Structure 1
Amino acid sequence: MSFYEKGKPVHVTLYLTDFVEGSEEDIKRAVKSITEQHQEFAITAQGFSVTQSNWAFINLQYSPKLQRLADEVTMAIEPLRDTNATIPSWVKNYPNKLTAFERYGSPNVFQNFQPHLTLLANEKSPKLVILNKQMQAHPPEAQGKIIGIGIGISDPFGQQKQVIAEYFFNNDKN
């Protein structure tokens, strides 16, 4: 069963890390400020991939606007992160991701940002192989919009288990 089927919000992770206790209000202020400076923008979902550890993704096309948004969020709230957070074991196999984690508390920022929609994590079902073949034969494609930024508490797989704030872009700007 996909995360979406389990009621998890469909989202693109802009920045995922551990934060120090008591930083929630500062994070909210910083993210709200960022959303006030942006407008919604189009995004294209195109393609499907499965990692070696059986995470299934809908891939997103590169978007300079999405990259900038992720970079801005990272820079704004990185100072609030827990600098004693444990490095995930898989990160140690990727020197560029290890460097990013050590500096920013996340392996998937800046040049390592690969936007996607996560469908499954560490999937055990053998049906994933069949699904992957079907998706490779007929890759999914969809148009959508990035309309704001949410803040949430995630589970061990990086999926939202609790949304604590949502801020929508100011679309009145010219």
Structure 2
Amino acid sequence: MIKELNQYLAQQGLFAAYQITPYLQQHPLHITLYLADYSPQKIPAILRTTKELAKQQKPILFSTAEFIPSRSGYVMLTVRHDKTIHELSNKTLNVLAHFRNPHASIPAWAAQDPERQALFRQYGSPSVLDYFNPHFSIFSAESLNTQQSTFLYQQLHKLIHQFSQSHQTQIEEHVDAIGVGIADTHGQIVKELAVFTLEP
């Protein structure tokens, strides 16, 4: 489905016009359970801990919901609220948070939100607990001025609506593994370190 959306938007000339590269071309598709800054020395302990976590977790059935564009040029595919995925995120947070770099800087987009500031100070991430929002990132447009961002948002809104009229966006799938990877500033995995299969 994500490939189909990318193909549709490419056919409409959107990617060429805004020099957009879909994440799927260069990064593995994933739902982020927990993202924080760590020193390389902590990686072996993180891998051991995540492996143990995977042994305690059965595969999870989830359902996608809809494609949502933002005014900044970012598009995501949302996942319907699922208690089990949320609980797995919380478990991941609880076992890995103490490995984080306590001197990391909060992301600029969260720096003005007192609640997210508090989460970042405690857990090293502003997107956990009540702010956990499972989704798949599709792409993000870079270096747009205000006028370009507004026009792109209008185009995305229209084209995604048209795409959704002829394509099913609510699909059920299973989460059957937990991965550990190094992410870029957009939260996209640039290097997979390990993948641990969930216990059946």
Count of matched residue positions in the alignment of Structure 1 and Structure 2: 170
The residue number in structure 2 matching 1:116 is 135
Larger Rg: 2
- Contact 2:182–2:193 (Cα < 8 Å) also in 1: yes
- What secondary structure does 2:125 align onto? coil
Within the alignment, does 1:166 sit opposite 2:195 as a pair?
Answer: yes
The residue number in structure 1 matching 2:22 is 2
- Give the distance between the partners of 1:10 and 1:59, measured in 2 at CA: 13
- Contact 1:48–1:132 (Cα < 8 Å) also in 2: no
The residue number in structure 1 matching 2:182 is 153
Sequence identity of aligned pairs in percent?
24
- What secondary structure does 2:120 align onto? helix
Q: Deviations over 1:79-117 (max 9, x none)?
A: 000000011111123222111111100010011100000
The residue number in structure 1 matching 2:52 is 33
* Deviation of 1:130 (Å): 2.0
The residue number in structure 2 matching 1:66 is 85
Q: Deviations over 1:119-141 (max 9, x none)?
A: 11244475553233232352722
* Deviation of 1:54 (Å): 2.0
- What secondary structure does 1:141 align onto? coil
- Give the distance between the partners of 2:190 and 2:63, measured in 1 at CA: 25
TM-score (norm. length: structure 1): 0.90
- Give the distance between the partners of 1:93 and 1:52, measured in 2 at CA: 19
Q: Deviations over 1:51-77 (max 9, x none)?
A: 332211000000000001100001101
Within the alignment, does 1:133 sit opposite 2:158 as a pair?
Answer: yes
Structure 1 residues 5-16: aligned runs within 5 Å: 6-16=25-35
Unaligned runs of at least 5 residues, structure 2: 1-20
- Give the distance between the partners of 1:144 and 1:129, measured in 2 at CA: 30
Q: Which moved more, 1:93-102 or 1:160-169?
A: 93-102
The residue number in structure 2 matching 1:99 is 118
With over 3 angstroms needed to count, the CA separation of the structure-2 counterparts of 1:86 and 1:101, relative to structure 1, is same
Unaligned runs of at least 5 residues, structure 1: none
Q: Which moved more, 1:84-93 or 1:133-142?
A: 133-142
- Contact 2:69–2:156 (Cα < 8 Å) also in 1: no
- Contact 1:44–1:144 (Cα < 8 Å) also in 2: yes
Q: Which moved more, 1:66-75 or 1:120-129?
A: 120-129
- What secondary structure does 2:97 align onto? helix
- Contact 1:47–1:136 (Cα < 8 Å) also in 2: no
- Give the distance between the partners of 2:106 and 2:172, measured in 1 at CA: 35
The residue number in structure 1 matching 2:7 is none
- Give the distance between the partners of 1:98 and 1:24, measured in 2 at CA: 25
Q: RMSD of the TM alignment (CA)?
A: 1.7
* Deviation of 1:165 (Å): 0.4
